[in-house]
Amino acid sequence: MKIIKPEIQGLVILEPDVFSDDRGYFFESYNYSSYLVAGIHDAFVQDNEAQSKKGVLRGLHYQVGELAQSKLVRVIQGAVYDVVVDIREGSPTHGKWYGIELSAQNKKQFYIPRGFAHGYLSLEERTILSYKCDNFYSKAHEGGIRYDDPLLGIKWPIDGILAIVSERDLGLPAFGSHRLP
């Protein structure tokens, strides 16, 4: 497995070793000991899966307090542009964002530690995104930031794509007025 650590501390991109032949392919999608080597020590307690049609933009979401969540994200079918924003107070990269394309084709996984807002744009029809969480979902601890906040300046690849955003996500506050973890 190839381990890539982007410029924002705590983020990890994992590229599994894929074994392919004329029958198809095989790879380990999760192996606790391999993830320990990558610096990921979380005990994941919940798996989530979401299907989205092309153009669906979800986020930016997070949880706060004792129910903040780390996530391990991958795409099973289709492709997404996955984005995180560092909302950790005191972090040298507070307010910075990072984006990566995850797809069924590239099989990359994206580890997002606690203290990040997370969202994604579905780039293909019938995209299926799956992610592990190290804490349970809690509506009382959830928060969010508006995906198109000009202060963040996220460069979503929406050229030629009609973004489909929920009313809830359109109503999220701007960066700086969100609840901090």
**DSSP symbols for 111-156:** EE-SSEEEEEEE-STTEEEEEEESS---GGGEEE--TT-TTT----
Into how many domains does the chain fold? 1
Range of the domain at 122: 43-170
153-177 pLDDT, tens per residue? 999 998 877 899 999 999 999 997 7
Q: Which of 131, 141, 147, 178 is catalytic?
A: 131
Active site residue 61: yes
Q: Residue 129 falls within a domain, yes or no?
A: yes
Domain presence at residue 3: no
Residue 131 annotated to the active site: yes
- The answer, as to whether pTM is greater than 0.75, is yes
pLDDT digits (tens, 9 = 90+) for 110-148: 999 999 999 999 999 999 999 999 999 999 999 999 999
65 within some domain: yes
